[in-house]
């Protein structure tokens, strides 16, 4: 039996449309009145701000840049004949 996979995305194809994803952000007061913002699901998504508004803006930018970097690095490291597809999973919400 043979399995034929049709690539949905390769390094030479147009990138997929934007997709909305939601992450949990944890805010903690730290020294000198700063607010630390982290995303537990994304190691490396850490920043801070003087106010909640600034911390929210900073963590949004940090997550966007981190995910963009992950995608760019994955694209560079994959061979041209790699098959890309979207995986959907459901996880319980706490």
Rounded CA gap, 51 and 17, in Å? Answer: 33
User: Each residue of 9-67: pLDDT tens digit?
Assistant: 555 555 556 778 889 999 999 999 999 999 999 999 999 999 999 999 999 999 999 99
Rounded CA gap, 84 and 86, in Å? Answer: 7
pTM equals 0.68
Which two tokens mark 36? 């630390």
Block residue for tokens 């459901």: 90
Q: How far apart are the first and last CA of the chain?
A: 42
């Amino acid at each position: 039996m043979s399995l034929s996979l049709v690539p949905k995305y390769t390094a030479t194809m147009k990138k997929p449309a934007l997709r909305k994803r939601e992450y949990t952000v944890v805010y903690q007061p730290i020294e000198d009145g700063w607010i630390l913002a982290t995303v537990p699901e994304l190691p490396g998504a850490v920043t801070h701000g003087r106010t909640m508004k600034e911390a929210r803006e900073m963590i949004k930018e940090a997550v966007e840049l981190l995910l963009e970097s992950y995608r760019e690095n994955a694209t560079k490291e994959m061979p041209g004949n790699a098959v890309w597809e979207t995986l959907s999973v459901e996880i319980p919400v706490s």
